[in-house]
A and B are shown apart, each in its own frame.
Chain A
Amino acid sequence: MEQTKPQVFIRTHFDLCTGCALCKTACSMHVFGGYNPNKGMLIIRHLWENLAHIPVVCQQCRNAMCMKVCPVKAIYRDEQTQAVVIDQKKCISCRLCSQYCPLGVIHRDLETQKAYKCDLCQGNPQCVQVCPFGALELGQENRQSGE
């Protein structure tokens, strides 16, 4: 099926990443109302004693396994942004989605036990806003959905 709307996604440039975690921290504020990068929806893998930092963000997969494995269909594609979004109200905390995310960017919140993932901040991702070096940038493309 051909999509007519451009899909927003976040492009990463690890060579520009300094590991400052501003992105994760801004993300946690957006999602939870307070700062804690451990609760952000993206990951930075610090390699070689900080010689390299690899940001890992949700790809809003064309073929989203998390969406397919969700037993209660709490995960769906948002009409506006084409982001793969979790409806926390429907989530039953079964953890299948995080098991089937190969990037490891679906988190189970310790307090609510619900699954959380990047929803692109309704199309205006805060992580991209705060990145000082352009390691994260907004991309758009027409992509074929695998649904």
Chain B
Amino acid sequence: MAQSYMNQILHIELSRGSFNAFEPPAWMFDDYLGGKGWGARMLLDIVPEKADPLGPENALMFLTGPLTATLAPAMRACVVTKSPLTNTFLDSYFGGYFGPEIKYAGYDALIFTGKSPDPVFLQIDHNGPGLVPAHDIWGQDAIKSNQSIKAKLGDDNFKIATIGPAGENQVPFALICCETNRQAGRGGAGAVMGSKNLKAIALKGNKLVKIHDHKKFNLALSRANKEIYDSLDCQGLMATGTAGSVEFANETGLIPSRNFSDGTSPLAAKLGDKGQSQKLWLSRSACFGCPIACSQMGAVRTGRYASFVTDIVEYETAAMLGTNLEIGDPRAVAHLNRLCDELGVDTISAGACISFAFEAAEKGLIESKDDLKLEFGNAKAAADLIEMIAFGKGHLGRLLSQGVKRAAQELGPEAEHLAIHVKGMEMPAWGPRGTPGMGLAYMTADRGACHQRGFPAGYESTGMEWKGKPVKALELEGKAELVFSLQNYLAGTDCLVKCDFGAMGVSPETYALLLNAATGSDIQASFFDELGERIWNVTRIFNLREGMDIRDERLPQRFVEEPLPSGPHKGHHITEDDMKYLLKDYYQIRGWDENGSPSLETLQRTGVRLEKKFKL
């Protein structure tokens, strides 16, 4: 197929330890492009209906895009699998150096099925793929095991993805830590990896990624890089990374505080870019091929949390393990972040589980002890809980390690009120009570509560224009169309696989130019919206098949029943009627029936051709 692809997928059947490299069918390139598109379609076609996400029949897929591993700025890769946390579709994106190495190893995708009888890691180098025993590495944390494999192979140049103890113990929100410290964080891909006894993947490739038309590609590169440099959003990220969002979210009343009880926090100033730069930051680091370089590296130099290196405390982590827990010291939050990274736990889900526990203890639903005081502001208790979750230690560790949905079900109806999730996926750090469009994005996101499948809050909290009109925060009308459009474009460009931050600068037209020059295709910018809509229908079919229904498409009780206590949207909440209105409008725009099921006409219009089947 076209130039910048490797035209090879590697299937690793772990039960037998066999490898099969094959060329993908032409329609996968034309209809689904790469990354999320390939992953959504492959998952639907490969994984049997109602498969156990932690069973051998679930597929774990690492996917690149046609621009990954080129000089196109800010490209990534992704993991797609069936989520053990939600039992539905999961895609999780990561930067760093691991994604490009998949292509340099000669593949567009790696697909794992089966389950290895013993712990192993996959090694691919110029001699081809092999499975290496990993008994001695099993049990090590995600960062240490990366170092151990490099020492074992005698080569620092391998790019490695690892799970930590949480993945080994199959915690449903365990992450995969990709070279270096870039997390495929959400929804439990690390647990799927652990369920297969796959500790790590180590890659070092010597294949070249070619370009169809060099002259046009270089022109498109110049254009893309200029758009990034000219973008105020990208400039902000260059200066502060996502830590710059902390004070913004606080000012707009979107930041979680005390288990999402409130939308503002006096601790925000300490945890944002000013607090972090003062206490932590020393230098900058970039993912492969990225001129934004949004990662601020640092160290906790002295004191209780002294540690040699810290990565930036991203907005989501600063909020979920910070303001949401009423922990205001950036050094303490950096420590909790590091603990999650080492143990291999998603910081967003961990934060929601801990705040759930703190509030449940406050209400007498969980017992608080002298040696484990479950109270907001207690960083030591938070650290202990993270450890207990990763190892499923004790009754409380086992309870919380299931995620807030299952924990609340176990504790009873009063606890349901404190479980902040959609479809089992814990809520990320943008509270929607003042931004109903964001509420709709959460209700409908194909992997459960997710801020990255459409971010209308960016328009709602700033009054930014959409189609020539300023978006009004609290109005419901037009929000479904906004969410629909944002979702489609993001999904379409997640086939490239773009980083959302690069997309703040690079225009759809420039992505089209890059893609055409790299592959020889001839698409227009609108292709990404069309592709995205197709994918939204594919993931919808998968999710409905796996048991999701319309009753799952609702916001947590807190956002429906409790008015916001403070901030610019004080007094607001999203009512049952609001949710009904938004969903009805959204289903109509998507061409889905009253149960949220795509009609045959919609599938035909969007080009979902189910008669074709991807086969391993």
Contact = CB atoms under 8 A, between A and B. Distances in A.
A21 interface: yes
B97 to A, nearest CB: 7
A51 B309 contact: yes
Given A37-B104, A51-B297, A51-B308, 14 more contacts: A18-B285, A18-B286, A20-B287, A21-B288, A22-B289, A25-B71, A33-B210, A38-B157, A38-B204, A49-B143, A49-B311, A51-B283, A51-B309, A132-B293
Given A18-B286, A20-B286, A36-B104, A49 B181 contact: yes
26 contacts: A18-B286, A18-B290, A19-B285, A19-B286, A20-B287, A21-B97, A21-B289, A25-B71, A28-B208, A33-B208, A35-B71, A36-B69, A36-B205, A36-B207, A37-B100, A38-B157, A38-B204, A39-B208, A49-B180, A49-B311, A50-B295, A51-B297, A110-B206, A111-B206, A132-B293, A133-B291
Nearest to A43: B157
Contacts of B104: 36-38
Interface in B455-493: none
A46 B159 CA distance: 12
A108 to B, nearest CB: 11
Interface of A: 15, 18-22, 25-26, 28-29, 32-39, 46, 48-53, 110-111, 130, 132-133
Interface of B: 69-71, 97, 100, 104, 126, 143, 157, 180-181, 204-211, 225, 282-291, 293, 295, 297-299, 308-309, 311
A132 to B, nearest CB: 4
B369 to A, nearest CB: 35
B520 to A, nearest CB: 15
Contacts of B285: 18-19, 50-51, 53
Given A19-B286, A22-B291, A48-B308, A36 B299 contact: no
Q: Which of B70, B71, B181, B284 gathers the greatest number of chain A CB atoms within 10 Å?
A: B284
A38 B205 contact: yes
Contacts of A28: 208
Give the 8 A-B CB pairs with smallest separation, nearest first: A34-B208, A132-B291, A18-B286, A20-B286, A18-B293, A35-B209, A50-B285, A49-B309
Given A36-B104, A51-B282, A133 B293 contact: yes
Contact of B210 (A19, A34, A130): A34
B181 A20 contact: no
Contacts of A50: 180-181, 285, 295, 297, 309, 311
Contacts of B208: 28, 32-36, 39
What secondary structure prevails in chain B residues at the interface with A? loop
Contacts of B143: 49
Contacts of A132: 225, 291, 293
Contact of B293 (A20, A26, A39): A20
A51 B298 CA distance: 7
A26 B288 CA distance: 12
B290 A20 contact: yes
A3 to B, nearest CB: 34
Nearest to A49: B309
A21 B73 CA distance: 11
A21 B97 CA distance: 9
Nearest to B159: A38
Contacts of B291: 20, 22, 132-133
A19 B126 CA distance: 24
A67 to B, nearest CB: 26
A29 B217 CA distance: 12
Contacts of B71: 22, 25-26, 29, 35, 130
Contacts of A35: 69-71, 208-211
A111 B225 CA distance: 33
A36 B181 contact: no
A130 B222 CA distance: 10
Contacts of A15: 283
A21 B286 CA distance: 9
A18 B205 CA distance: 22
A46 B181 CA distance: 13
A52 B210 CA distance: 30
Nearest to B157: A38
A133 to B, nearest CB: 7
A33 B217 CA distance: 13
B309 A20 contact: no
B209 A51 contact: no
B517 to A, nearest CB: 13
A49 B143 CA distance: 9
Nearest to A45: B156
A52 B283 contact: yes
Nearest to A50: B285
B209 A36 contact: yes
Contacts of A32: 208
A85 to B, nearest CB: 22
A21 B208 CA distance: 15
Contacts of A37: 100, 104, 288
B180 A20 contact: no
A143 to B, nearest CB: 31
Given A38-B104, A49-B143, A51-B299, A20 B288 contact: yes
B251 to A, nearest CB: 29
A45 B290 CA distance: 17
A110 B125 CA distance: 11
Contact of B206 (A36, A51, A52): A36
A25 B68 CA distance: 12
A48 B181 CA distance: 12
B159 to A, nearest CB: 9
A38 B293 CA distance: 21
Contacts of B180: 46, 49-50
Given A36-B104, A48-B309, A49-B309, A18 B284 contact: yes
A15 B71 CA distance: 22
Contacts of A18: 284-286, 290, 293
A134 to B, nearest CB: 12
